[in-house]
Chains A and B, each alone.
Chain A
């Protein structure tokens, strides 16, 4: 039997019962629509988060001391579990897997500018920190090596701090006071938004590490070291190298607890992947259930259709249709029914996602894979659920089918 006439016959019989066909397809439309919409929104927010992580620097490594209490022994300062500028220098000079190394000396202080004030975090860092964290200047400049050397009291403001202290003004060149020490604002950084952990990354002031260490902090302790690995693909090698160098410098015996925690973005990424994976599984379950319901709807209608058209089947058989021809005819009909449902579902899903995305302000990413996937899946649903009625039709005895009232 010719494909063209098969498909034509199927379309004709679908068109003959428009309302019934539409109601039949509704299950598939809703199922596919829901999947497409949820997937688009899910992928949209995933893309948002990934962009943030990338903004943080994908080759970023963060070194912290772990708890200062290790195996019941109180660690002495400068030995175990405390990072100093010596460690920074050590890593900077000797770690071949690292591109840039910067200390982060962190103090929380009240900052005063004129008659406004703001409580924020002041980070003492080196010049390379700008590269490590991809900070882009909005106005003014980042500080220089000279500022570090001479412990210059200069400050680079995050966007939030700038907005709080100097609403609607460019603060470059203005004086601020941090714990009564006057600092000159030399630059404002572009906004980085919230971190993937929900912190405001712009509520920050950056100053030369030397200035912060000796004027605001204890002159010794480096809370965190941030470094960028030479390449994203060599994060593990970089970690191993750092561990080895620190182990030697802090005279930690081989096999003992290193006492430092080295994190990278891949862990955050992994966590996100896990969450997204769960979400995807949930969505797949919803999709599965709704498509199952839709498929049963199709099967039901096809069964009704077979009964209704028993005489037609008899006539076709009487003039020479093989059982396979009848099977194919009803299978194609079921498949077209669910395919049209699937296509309508895709359209309504995309429309729904765009609408929801606008309302909720999230990005919408419609992936062609999801579309191909749902088309293939709906066709499969049509074949699977159409098979039983189609087979039933094809197994009829011609004369019984012809006599059917």
Chain B
């Protein structure tokens, strides 16, 4: 079943007299359980696309169907509930609450969860933090975390509400190779559980853990092809030279 359907989607930003065409008509269909890497040069419109997919922004033209629902028809409240229940979003710039512990940052989506799916928010937050290897940093505030650690807090926050769709905008941008592969291992594990994943990345090495690669240039899709043989992060980690020595806190 198709989860995300984009039809001729465009997004134009008005900048005074001029306007910036970040997306110029993107059509894309992503089925449930896919793992897509979105690539492209800087400024090609990747983040703009992710924001639209994450129901954070509205397209200037075109249609976006999420699980068959036309998103432009939804009101602010329904959009909020979709963001809360269906989507996990990892921002390129982390977007963590300052002066708030990693644990509380991760718990934040559950604060607005009305479904009560997760019985013990704090325990769940701890569990996802451990999943990204940050169990020992739960009570640190973002300012006292490294860039890579902040990025992993952001990933944990995106995972806590057990979303059906995970949208990650350069989740490995600040991570070393080993930790990046660890994150990919987490993503692949989630993907096997049936979660649809869209991942923006610059690195071809990371993109090849996905099952499909979509490339953007100047707001248009220039390439959309399946990955012949996706790499397996778990086996790469096992075969890693000097297992676990690359990051100090990578494993717990």
Residues of A within 8 A of B (CB): 1-2, 5, 16, 311-312, 314-325, 397-399, 402
B12 proximal to A (CB < 8 A): no
Bound-state CA distance A314–B94 (Å) is: 12
For A317, give its contact among B51, B80, B98, B111 (CB under 8 Å). Answer: B80
Provide the B68-110 mask, 1 if CB < 8 A to any CB of A, else 0: 0000000011001101110001010001111100000000110
Chain B residue, CB-CB nearest to A314: B95
User: Is A320 within 8 A of B80, CB to CB?
Assistant: yes
B113 proximal to A (CB < 8 A): yes
Bound-state CA distance A5–B97 (Å) is: 15
B176 proximal to A (CB < 8 A): no
Q: Is the interface of A mostly helix, strand, loop or mixed?
A: helix
User: Is A322 within 8 A of B111, CB to CB?
Assistant: no
Task: List A contacts of B81 (CB < 8 A).
Answer: 320, 322
Chain A residue, CB-CB nearest to B80: A322
Known contacts A398-B56, A399-B56; is A323 also within 8 Å of B77 by CB?
yes
Q: Pull 20 A–B residue pairs with CB atoms less than 8 Å apart, ordered by A.
A: A315-B96, A315-B97, A315-B108, A318-B54, A318-B56, A318-B89, A318-B91, A319-B112, A320-B84, A320-B85, A320-B109, A320-B161, A321-B112, A322-B80, A322-B81, A323-B76, A323-B77, A324-B77, A398-B83, A402-B91
Bound-state CA distance A16–B54 (Å) is: 32
User: Is B77 within 8 A of A322, CB to CB?
Assistant: yes
Task: List A contacts of B67 (CB < 8 A).
Answer: none
Task: List B contacts of A398 (CB < 8 A).
Answer: 56-57, 83
- Distance (Å) between the CB of B69 and the closest chain A CB? 16
Provide the B8-38 mask, 1 if CB < 8 A to any CB of A, else 0: 0000000000000000000000000000000
Q: Which 7 pairs, one residue from A and one from B, show the smallest C-beta to C-beta distance?
A: A320-B84, A319-B109, A322-B80, A399-B57, A320-B112, A399-B56, A320-B83
User: Is B111 within 8 A of A1, CB to CB?
Assistant: yes
Task: List B contacts of A311 (CB < 8 A).
Answer: 95
User: Is B112 within 8 A of A325, CB to CB?
Assistant: yes
User: Is B97 within 8 A of A320, CB to CB?
Assistant: no
- Distance (Å) between the CB of A328 and the closest chain B CB? 11
- Distance (Å) between the CB of B13 and the closest chain A CB? 11
Chain B residue, CB-CB nearest to A6: B111
Bound-state CA distance A316–B97 (Å) is: 9
Chain A residue, CB-CB nearest to B95: A315
Residues 120 to 176 of chain B near chain A (Cβ within 8 Å): 157, 161
For A322, give its contact among B96, B98, B112 (CB under 8 Å). Answer: B112
Bound-state CA distance A16–B157 (Å) is: 24
Bound-state CA distance A79–B93 (Å) is: 105
For B108, give its contact among A2, A319, A322, A399 (CB under 8 Å). Answer: A319
Bound-state CA distance A311–B96 (Å) is: 9
Task: List A contacts of B83 (CB < 8 A).
Answer: 317-320, 398
- Distance (Å) between the CB of B153 and the closest chain A CB? 12
Known contacts A5-B111, A402-B56; is A323 also within 8 Å of B80 by CB?
yes
Task: List A contacts of B108 (CB < 8 A).
Answer: 315-316, 319
Bound-state CA distance A32–B250 (Å) is: 57
- Distance (Å) between the CB of B208 and the closest chain A CB? 29
Task: List A contacts of B111 (CB < 8 A).
Answer: 1-2, 5, 321
